[in-house]
Amino acid sequence: MAILNADLHCHSVVSDGTLTPEDLAARAAANGVELWALTDHDEIGGQKRALAAAHANGLKYLTGTEISVTFAGETVHIVGLGFDADDERMHEGLLQTRDGRGPRAKEIAEGLAQVGIKDAYEGALKYVGNPALISRTHFARFLVETGVCKDTNEVFRRYLTEGKPGFVPHRWANLKDAVAWITQAGGIAVVAHPARYKFTANEEYALFHEFKAHGGQGVEVVTGSHTAAEYVKYADVAKEFGLAASRGSDFHSPGESHTDLGQLPFLPGELTPVWELLADRIQ
Residues in contact with Mn ion by CB under 5 A are: 16, 66, 77, 192, 250
Q: Does 127 bind ligand AMP (CB under 6 A)?
A: no
Q: Does 137 bind ligand AMP (CB under 6 A)?
A: yes
Q: Does 97 bind ligand AMP (CB under 6 A)?
A: no
Q: Does 65 bind ligand AMP (CB under 6 A)?
A: no
Query: Residue 56 or 207: which CB sits closer to Mn ion?
Result: 207
Distance, in Å, from the CA atom of 110 to the CA atom of 75, rounded to the nearest integer, reads 22
Query: Residue 57 or 135: which CB sits closer to ligand AMP?
Result: 135
Distance, in Å, from the CA atom of 29 to the CA atom of 27, rounded to the nearest integer, reads 5
Among 9, 27, 247, 252, which residue interacts with ligand AMP (rule: CB under 6 A)? 252
* Helices vs strands, H then E, count in the chain: 11, 8
SS (H, E, C) 35-68: EECCCCECCCCCHHHHHHHHHHCCCEECCEEEEE
* Cα 170 to Cα 35, 141, 177, 233, 237, distances in angstroms: 34, 21, 17, 29, 28
- The enclosing H or E element of 154 equals helix 152-155
User: In whole angstroms, how close is the CB of 111 to ligand AMP at the nearest point?
Assistant: 14
User: Among Mn ion, ligand AMP, none, what does residue 247 contact (CB within 5–8 Å per kind)?
Assistant: none
Residues 16-35 that bind ligand AMP (CB under 6 A): 16
User: In whole angstroms, how close is the CB of 228 to Mn ion at the nearest point?
Assistant: 20
Among 57, 135, 217, 223, which residue interacts with ligand AMP (rule: CB under 6 A)? 135
Residue 13 main-chain phi, psi, to 5 deg:
-60, -15
∠ Cα 79 125 113 (to 5°): 105
User: Among ligand AMP, Mn ion, none, what does residue 225 contact (CB within 5–8 Å per kind)?
Assistant: none
DSSP state at residue 157: I
Cα diameter, the chain: 54
Query: Residue 167 or 205: which CB sits closer to ligand AMP?
Result: 167
Distance, in Å, from the CA atom of 143 to the CA atom of 112, rounded to the nearest integer, reads 10
The size of the interface with ligand AMP (CB under 6 A), counted in residues, is: 10
Q: Does 153 bind ligand AMP (CB under 6 A)?
A: yes
Span near ligand AMP by CB under 6 A; candidates 109-117, 148-156, 184-192, 198-206: 148-156
User: Among ligand AMP, Mn ion, none, what does residue 68 contact (CB within 5–8 Å per kind)?
Assistant: ligand AMP
Q: Which residues bind ligand AMP (CB under 6 A)?
A: 16, 41, 68, 135-137, 152-153, 156, 252
